[in-house]
Amino acid sequence: MGYEEVLDEMEDLLEKAWKVPMGGGKSVLDVSAFQRLIKDLRLSVPREITEANRIVNNKEQIIQDAKNKCEDVYKMARKKVSEMAEEHEIVKLAKKREADILKKCQDKCKEMATKARNESLGCISDCEKNLVLQLENMRNFKQNLKVIKI
């Protein structure tokens, strides 16, 4: 259960609590249910942080995969150049082609790495915003708990 669902259940529990007659606005609520919800809330926040870290770690894997593909293409290009080195004109053509392929591979690798980095940064920013919102919600909830008279 996510933190938002837990907070919704806490609000429902508070709304359903019955008022003590002539109690000056005090209410009675199921303490064990409320404690269970607090426990659920504590468990849900680390789970969402773990999920955010998993997303970031996958972005690093994408970058590594792109580098590996670039290395494979580069090795294949070098092998082809070596095979074409039998004649002088072929060698010149092969060296030019090798440089072109290498440049394309490097450009593609940089493009993929930049894209993955930007996506990772966006993901981290989203997670950061979510954590700030969670912290604000927790502070509001804590403040609401302080206001409740028992």
The whole model's pTM is what?
0.36
pLDDT at 100: 94
Tokens describing residue 137: 């919600």
Whats the size of the chain, residue-wise?
A: 150
pLDDT band at 92 (very low <50, low <70, confident <90, very high): confident
pLDDT tens column, 108-127: 989 999 998 999 999 899 99
Give the pLDDT confidence of 5-50 residue by residue, as tens digits.
888 888 898 888 888 888 788 888 888 888 998 888 878 777 777 7
∠ CA(24), CA(25), CA(28), 5° rounding?
Answer: 115
**Residue 116 contacts residue 66 (beta carbons within 8 Å):** yes
